[in-house]
Amino acid sequence: MSRPAPWATAVFAQGGVEARLAWRRGENVLAMVGVPIAVLLFFGFFVPDPGGVDAMLPGTLTLALVASGLVSLGIATAYERGYGVLKRLGGSPLGSSGIVAAKLGVVVAIGLAQVGGLLAVAAMVLGWRPDPDASALAVVVTTIVGASAFAGLGLAIAATLRPEAALVVANVLFLLALGFGGAVVPIGDLPAPLAAFVGVLPVGALSEAFAAALGSGGALAAPLAIASAWAIGSLVVAARTFRWD
């Protein structure tokens, strides 16, 4: 009888399966890629000056991570659990931590591709140029933190709700992120009490962190710390509440 594969090997193999499945779901690709690009271009053409693009770009990057982490991952995992797909993995060396790690790794990789692609579209189509204070490293770190936060939230929703309920909740949260995450209306333009409230939510904190990383916002430390707290908390909840069926 052969020994089970090491945990890291099993996670890497499962991550490859998760990546292939993610790109085979047409509706997922539309949510992860098509919608953020459409939002960026639609509103970008109505705000042709570079300052306008700078104001909406952080929120659009955040929206993309909401789509890939909270919406796509959350809904897909909820239906995998509902259909009994995850139950088949219950006897594997992965365990719940391995499943969470594999899915998280794929979402982070997709998030980095999304952010890079959106920045390229903004530059080539809308004439956006990075601010001299922009930091590529800060953008990468912010992307990883944000993808982790929304992946954790998506997995927590999938672990605690029935598939139909997860579908509704994820889509409602996506619409709220579209309206209040800075993609359409900059967070700074919201009424002060609402802007303060949004700023402590993951969507608001991440949007402000992206603005700082791109050189168009304030300090990076505070919003990144808030987003990091959401990432750690949501992933802990997801790992502890994860159910196979």
Q: How many CB atoms lie within 10 A of CB 194?
A: 12
Q: How far is CA 56 from the centre of its chain?
A: 17
- HEC letters along 168-188: HHHHHHHHHHHHHCCCCCCHH
Q: H helices of the chain, where?
A: 7-24, 26-29, 35-46, 50-65, 74-82, 95-126, 136-160, 163-180, 192-199, 202-213, 221-241
Instruction: Name the 3-class secondary structure at 208.
Output: helix
| Interatomic CA distance for residues 49 and 179, integer angstroms | 22
Q: What is the pLDDT of residue 245?
A: 67
**Stretch 220-224: mean pLDDT:** 92
**Stretch 77-94: mean pLDDT:** 75
Output helix, strand, coil percentages for the chain, rounded to the nearest 5. 80, 0, 20
Judged against a pLDDT cut of 80, whether residue 86 lies above it is answered with no
Lowest mean pLDDT, pick from 80-94, 102-116, 181-195, 216-230: 80-94
Judged against a pLDDT cut of 70, whether residue 130 lies above it is answered with yes
Q: What is the pLDDT of residue 5?
A: 66
Residue in 38, 14, 62 with CA at minimum distance from that of residue 174: 62
With left for phi above 0 and alpha for psi between -120 and 50, is residue 218 left, alpha or beta? beta
Lowest mean pLDDT, pick from 60-64, 158-162, 228-232: 158-162
Q: What is the pLDDT of residue 53?
A: 81
Instruction: Give tens-digit pLDDT for 150-195.
Output: 999 999 998 888 889 999 999 999 888 888 887 777 787 788 888 8
Q: What is the pLDDT of residue 2?
A: 53
Helix axes 95-126, 7-24, angle to 10 degrees: 50
CB 100 within 8 A of CB 238: yes
**Stretch 56-78: mean pLDDT:** 90
| Interatomic CA distance for residues 137 and 182, integer angstroms | 22
Mean pLDDT for the chain? 84
**Stretch 128-134: mean pLDDT:** 87
| Interatomic CA distance for residues 153 and 22, integer angstroms | 18
| Interatomic CA distance for residues 67 and 149, integer angstroms | 12
Encoded amino acid at 56, one letter: M
Q: What is the pLDDT of residue 1?
A: 44
**Stretch 139-151: mean pLDDT:** 95
Instruction: Give tens-digit pLDDT for 20-60.
Output: 877 777 667 777 778 888 888 887 776 655 457 888 889 89
Q: What is the pLDDT of residue 90?
A: 61
Instruction: Name the 3-class secondary structure at 198.
Output: helix
Cα angle 161, 165, 167; round to 5:
110
Cα angle 110, 7, 161; round to 5:
60
**H helix count then E strand count, the chain:** 11, 0
Task: Give 199's pLDDT tier (boundaries 50, 70, 90).
Answer: confident
Encoded amino acid at 39, one letter: V
Higher pLDDT residue, 185 or 236?
236
Tokens linked to 139? 């953008």
Percent of the chain with pLDDT over 70: 91
pTM of the entire structure? Answer: 0.89
Higher pLDDT residue, 29 or 141?
141
